[in-house]
Amino acid sequence: MIPNGEKNKIIKWENDTVGRLKCEIDLDGLFSGNEKRYGKFKKDWPKFLASDSLNDELYQLDGSVLKYISEDLIPQKKDDRPPLLLLLGNPASHSVSAGMFFSFEADKSEHRFWKEILKPSGIIDLRGDDNQDISYKNEMRKRRIMNLDYISKFRIGLSVYISMPSCASCEWSGVAGIVRLLGRKAFSKLAENERYRILKSVEKFMPEGGTIVAFQKEAWNYLKSQSDPDYRLEDVKIKGLVGLVDKNKKINLLCVPPTRLQRPCCKILKKINDIFKS
């Protein structure tokens, strides 16, 4: 596994299969100096694990090491299109299990991310067959993204800022659920370490520069330059945020509303074609 930076070796990761990451978190390091919060984590862990029936297949608590499966879909192939990384918050447990980002909605229907955000925004058209079932569409999307086989002015990658999966709709859902599980101090330490993981991926995906689109607060706040504005949802919903990745001015950083706000999210994504010309 690839370790984090020399100062904080909290998280390790490696690509497992296409679209999946194997991750490990050193809990002793994560909660160092915070034994009381570590005790609360241990108490809450069974409740978090039980919040989604799929968590048992994704997570393994091995002593002080938390092992789990996450998702990351960044193609190794290259072409002449400028790279665009779609950076989400954290993965839903059912999507990691299914092997594809935003695999389906709660009722097993096609997820709004694909049909109501990305396609109408013009960012990417994967030319899916509407008559096929969801599992076929998920496999097709993954294959086409990795093979650059889609209609877009961009070369697309997808990743998550916080790698720990959680249930899609419960008290432990989303990034807020991970904050609740770890506590703000440990979460902040994890987020700093996750930043290193993202930047290492970006080095390979867009070595000459490109654009990251952040769909979530931490993804923006932990990557932005100091001169860029802090995240305010009111501003993001109206016009989004535009900045640069800290210490890498070759990479543009955009922030759009979270995917639950599909209309403003789609509207602001449409502007990308005008802001960044290929």
The per-residue pLDDT for 273 is: 66
Which CA distances in Å does 169 have to 20, 43, 216, 258?
A: 22, 21, 17, 15
Cα–Cα–Cα angle for 209, 211, 215, rounded to 5 degrees: 150
pLDDT value at 3 more than 80: no
Angle between helices 174-182 and 184-205 (to 10 degrees): 130
pLDDT value at 5 more than 90: no
Give me the mean pLDDT over the 165-185 stretch.
95
User: Per residue in 195-236, pLDDT tens?
Assistant: 999 999 999 999 999 999 999 999 999 999 999 999 999 999
pLDDT value at 22 more than 60: yes
Q: Has residue 238 been placed in a domain?
A: yes
Residue-number span of the structural domain to which 17 is assigned: 11-71
Residue closest to 155 by CA, chosen among 202, 95, 97 = 202
CATH number, domain of 97, equals 3.40.470.10
Give me the mean pLDDT over the 81-85 stretch.
96
Q: Has residue 250 been placed in a domain?
A: yes
**How many structural domains are present in the chain?**
2
* Displacement of CA 86 from its chain's centroid (Å): 8
The per-residue pLDDT for 136 is: 84
Are residues 233 and 98 both part of a single domain?
yes
Are residues 174 and 233 both part of a single domain?
yes
d(CA 228, CA 15): 32
Residue-averaged pLDDT of the chain: 91
* Helix then strand then coil, % of the chain, to nearest 5: 40, 20, 40
